[in-house]
Amino acid sequence: MGAARGTFIQESAFIAAMKSKFLELPEGGIMKRVRMKPYLPSEQVCDECGGAKNVDVKAVYFCENASCLQYFCETCWDRFHYGKFADGTGIVHRPYARINGEVKLLTHPSHHSCDHSKVQIAQ
């Protein structure tokens, strides 16, 4: 298993790849299917508040929904997914987060769980 960085020429290609969660790449005459996951650096600043809402806590979530596709701190996640700025469609936006050094897709934000040892990872 490894990791790589991909660059997309068109935003629509990036959105399509993130929606499908996979990308097919030619290699040695065959097509390889690669799983798409966001990169979650430890010093990532929230795309919404620029770090103003949580000075000591960086953006810990990346929203996988095609209408978001951005990094959020805990405060902005709640504000834009549950608060008055939520889109109102009822579509559940699931966050990617770094859990024990690995990027995982969660069923809900980990700060909503009372017992952080029981964070639910999406299948």
pLDDT digits (tens, 9 = 90+) for 28-74: 899 988 888 888 888 889 998 987 776 667 889 999 888 888 999 98
pLDDT above 90 for 83 = no
Rg (CA), the chain: 16
Query: Element (H or E) spanning 74, and its range?
Result: helix 74-81
Number of domains in the chain: 2
Q: 22 and 64 in one domain?
A: no
Q: 96 and 57 in one domain?
A: yes
Q: 50 and 13 in one domain?
A: no
Sign of CA dihedral 47, 50, 54, 59: positive
Q: 79 and 66 in one domain?
A: yes
Q: 79 and 21 in one domain?
A: no
Give the per-residue pLDDT at 14.
85
Q: 98 and 49 in one domain?
A: yes
Angstrom distance (rounded) from CA 96 to CA 38: 8
Domain hosting 65: range is 40-123
Q: 121 and 84 in one domain?
A: yes
The answer to whether the beta carbons of residues 40 and 62 sit under 8 Å apart is yes
Give the per-residue pLDDT at 116.
46
Give the per-residue pLDDT at 20.
85
pTM of the model: 0.75
Give the per-residue pLDDT at 62.
93
Give the per-residue pLDDT at 41.
84
